Amino acid sequence: MKRGFTLIELLVVIAIIAILAAILFPVFARAREKARQSSCLNNVKQMGLAAMMYAQDYDETNVPCSTADVVIVYQRVNGAVTLTWGPWFALLQPYCANPHIFLCPSEPQGTYGNYTSYGCNYLVTGRTFNLAVVKLSEIKYPAETLIFADSAWTGSTTDYHTSNAWRINASRHPSYFVPARHNGGANMAFCDGHAKWHSIPLDPNSTYVGPIKYTMPIVDVCWYPDGRPKY
């Protein structure tokens, strides 16, 4: 004679399923983020190589962070947009087959008007904030000098009213900093063209409660052509 499950047996099975789900869901979430991290790293790698090709075409001059010298039509993911200034991601577009590389899979809406999720280290690119352009020969440690990285801003109007996350530098600012959005770190490209993931600790003293957490300033890479700061 067949009998059905008792209530206790059903509750035990449900409890086991709930425990397994609690264990596996975070694992699946980390696996999905790991896949996005790998895709982002490929984006950053392509940007680094595009910057090297740009430099070879312009007498070994790094791509400027921005310039007002030309009007550029930048093919954004959502269509053509005419820019009256030339940001680095528009200047690099001719060297990239796919405009999607300027949007991080973990931040697909971008941090600056849907144009890009990444920031350019203007301390080694110049042509903005009255900085002179920088040539590759001026960079003392190209394999350790940062040129592109994941970028973000708090989005808080009390901190800053707009995003400058298309650029980054050694000092952190509410409107631009390198977030730890990929499993506790960020993807970075360096002046020799290589790219890698870099761990970034969160700021334990930050009082910002928004969705993007403040990170500590990155001091173990070079930000300036002469190798500063690298402690």
Is pLDDT of 85 > 80?
no
Q: Distance between CA atoms of 182 and 46, rounded to whole angstroms?
A: 18
The whole-number average pLDDT for the span 152-174 is 80
For residue 112, tell me if it sits in a domain.
Answer: yes
Are 156 and 198 contacting, i.e. CB atoms less than 8 angstroms apart?
Answer: no
User: Does 10 map to a domain?
Assistant: no
* Other beta carbons within 10 Å of 18: 10
In this structure, is residue 5 part of a structural domain? Answer: no
Q: In degrees, to the nearest 5, what angle opens at C-alpha 78 toward C-alphas 75 and 80?
A: 35
Residue 195 belongs to some domain of the structure: yes
Is 134 or 42 the better-scoring residue by pLDDT?
A: 42
| Mean pLDDT for the stretch of residues 107-113 | 69
Question: Could you tell me which residue, 138 or 1, shows the higher pLDDT?
Answer: 138
Task: Quote the CA–CA distance of 50 and 36 in Å, as a whole number.
Answer: 21
Give the residue carrying structure tokens 């350019």.
Answer: 120
**CA torsion sign, 9 to 14 to 19 to 24?**
positive
The tally of domains found in the chain comes to 1
Q: Is residue 25 assigned to a domain?
A: no
- 104: containing domain: 32-199
In a domain, 15, yes or no: no
What helix, strand, coil percent values describe the chain, rounded to 5?
A: 30, 20, 50
Residue 18 lies in a domain: no
Whether the predicted pLDDT of 128 surpasses 90 = no
Residue 63 lies in a domain: yes
